[in-house]
Chains A and B, each alone.
Chain A
Amino acid sequence: MPPIIDRNKCVGCGTCVDICNSNIFVFDRSVDTVPRVKFPDECWHCDSCVIDCPKGAVTLRIPLAYMLLHVDADTLKPREAK
């Protein structure tokens, strides 16, 4: 569940922890050098952590249940126009 932090890129600055719209991260530097996503179900997918990460270490994974339903637009062409 979102967000995903790339441990190889993260420098442990804590920006994502601080600015998260939903306060979903925790960061205990005595335990790990990378923040932990403690409350993934509360992510709003606002992208703040992705945008503000100075190292580009954060990506979002949109849950399967949020799938964007879509069809090929050609299937919507009025029948007489086909």
Chain B
Amino acid sequence: MLSISRTLEADVVIVGGGIGGPMAAIAASEAGAKRVLVLEKCHVRRSGSGATGNDHFSCYCPEVHGSDVEPVLNALMNSLVGQAKDVDLMRLHLLESFDIVKKWEEWGINMRPLGHWNFEGHALPGKPRAFLKFDGRKQKAVLAEQMKKHGVTVLNHHPVVELAKENGRVCGVLAIDATKTEPSFVLVKTPCVILSTGLTHRLYVNGSTPNYLFNTAHCPNNAGGQALGWRIGASMVNMEIPYTHAGTKYIQRAGKATWIGVYRYPDGRPLGPFVTKPDPEYGDVTSDIWNSAFIDVMQNGRGPAYLDCSENTPETLAYMRKAMFDEGLSALIAYMDDKGIDPAKHAVEFTRFEPILHGRGLDVDKDGLTSVPGLYAAGDMVGNAGCGLGLAAWMGWRAGRAAAASAALVPEAAGNLADHPVIRAKMELLSSFMERTEGASWQEANIALTQIMSDYANVGPYKVRSESLLNTGLTYLAQLREETKNNLKTSCSHTLMRAAEVLDLFDCAECIMRSALERKETRGSHKRSDFTFTNPLLAEKMLDITRKDDGTIVTSWRNTRV
């Protein structure tokens, strides 16, 4: 078996150093936790979807929005991001997030690039706008610096691959030390874990470039982190409600809302009724409202759909270009410049991408606490709240404070983590991948999974799910799991990390299919050919799914919290 290079102890362990993770770490430290440890798969300076920037932060600003948060909340809940979310969490997020904005500004992130609080994009004409435009280019460096100032320990290149539980509570973490070519294991005993691993890609055949797993709209290295919570018995929610992002074709790194233009058919007519001329304040919200627009126009032959920015003034185009840098799209801009693609002269085709787990995952309370004591989650991996970066920052902050308070009350777990049966089994499985001299690559397993998901658990409006298809998909997934366990071969810490991701993706896939079986109706893109109606009795309910310690899987319905 691979060696255990280190055994550590911490009051609070944070899994993932993107946006929610650093905020949780800083908050936990401020709240009195002495040993705060961030385990990051890559490097906190450039990890996650916010690696090189972001330009919109959801929050409620009284001096801009007025004294009532409800109109802003309503606008948010009626947009794509509000789909299948607990209203109470989203309200609290809006109410408290402006304090986070002010904190970020104090720390050195440019939250007012125009000199005032500027809310734009992702909005319907005439409705309040919930997204503060900011310049996120330095966000990661600033958060890394703040973690250092707060005495947080960061272990970069340490992907977490398993959690352990003792007497019903989280007791530890298994990570791979991937700082060297030869991997080893790191064990951390802790009473509190905050998961903040981001959203999950690589479950379905890539929507724009089928042969490329890493052409994704968000960080492709966020793959299956929800499964860490699933395996330890945390309730998951909304896993069966599909989310699909949209953007430029074929490259997925697009920052859809940063573009200021009008979606048009090839004959020039606008796709949607919302704008006919480019509007910096609202953008063209058509694809937020009509989520399948870009594939509908291909299916009905009227497409493709283009985003036309050419009618902007030179000033607005310059503003848009700068916002693209703020959003972290410098690679796209460099590519466009190199190829002579100019938004003033060219219209760019847009498409809908493959389904991802974005705002689908762990069911949490207002402090990010999951159904497992000591386990918290924040950010895009949360299933009952979600609003990208702003929500990750806010929920990370709350989770960090709550975890610090909880850790102070809990005596240290007694057992030896290396002997924990779940940890031991995972170490043995991963070690077996390294010991094999011949075998399958992680890519083979990942691609096979995307094939199964796209054939047996795909999403509407043009693909259906059914009891027959989903049960068949589960059978094939079980076969693939077994084949993978018995045949996967890895050669270094990097490929071992990818192999562990694939195992996580398998669990996410199972969770999606089992939830989809239980939702016996059609809702949004969850299109059941055997239940073609939308059941009004489920309109204000959410589906929880939990894996019990004995391996049985249970589902239950709960009311959406208002």
Interface residues of A (CB under 8 A from B): 18-23, 26, 38-39, 41-48, 50-52, 60, 62-63, 65-79, 81
CA–CA, A2 and B209, complex, Å: 16
Q: Contact at B331–A71, with CB atoms within 8 Å? A: no
User: Which of B48, B251, B269 interacts with A45 by CB under 8 Å?
Assistant: B251
Q: Contact at A48–B334, with CB atoms within 8 Å? A: no
Min C-beta distance of A17 to chain B, whole Å: 10
Q: A47-B52, A66-B209 are in contact. Are A73 and B334 (CB under 8 A)?
A: no
Interface string of B195-225 (1 = CB under 8 A from A): 0000000000000010111111001110000
CA–CA, A69 and B269, complex, Å: 19
Chain B residues positioned under 8 Å from A46 (CB to CB): 46, 51-52, 219, 253, 328, 331
Chain B residues positioned under 8 Å from A66 (CB to CB): 209, 212, 215, 250-251
Chain B residues positioned under 8 Å from A48 (CB to CB): 45-46, 51-52
By CB atoms of chain B within 10 A, which of A22, A63, A68 has the most? A68
Q: Contact at A78–B269, with CB atoms within 8 Å? A: yes
Nearest B residue to A18 via CB reads B43
Q: Contact at A21–B42, with CB atoms within 8 Å? A: yes
Q: Contact at B268–A79, with CB atoms within 8 Å? A: yes
Interface string of B339-354 (1 = CB under 8 A from A): 1010011111100000
Interface residues of B (CB under 8 A from A): 41-43, 45-48, 51-52, 156-157, 178, 181, 209, 211-216, 219-221, 248-251, 253, 264-269, 304, 306, 308-310, 328, 330-332, 334-336, 339, 341, 344-349, 494, 497
Q: Contact at B346–A44, with CB atoms within 8 Å? A: no
Q: A48-B52, A76-B308, A79-B268 are in contact. Are A22 and B347 (CB under 8 A)?
A: no
Chain B residues positioned under 8 Å from A21 (CB to CB): 42, 46-48, 51, 219, 221
Nearest A residue to B48 via CB reads A21
Chain A residues positioned under 8 Å from B52 (CB to CB): 46-48, 51
Min C-beta distance of A67 to chain B, whole Å: 6
Q: Contact at A62–B335, with CB atoms within 8 Å? A: yes
CA–CA, A46 and B46, complex, Å: 9
CA–CA, A50 and B329, complex, Å: 12
Q: Contact at A44–B348, with CB atoms within 8 Å? A: no
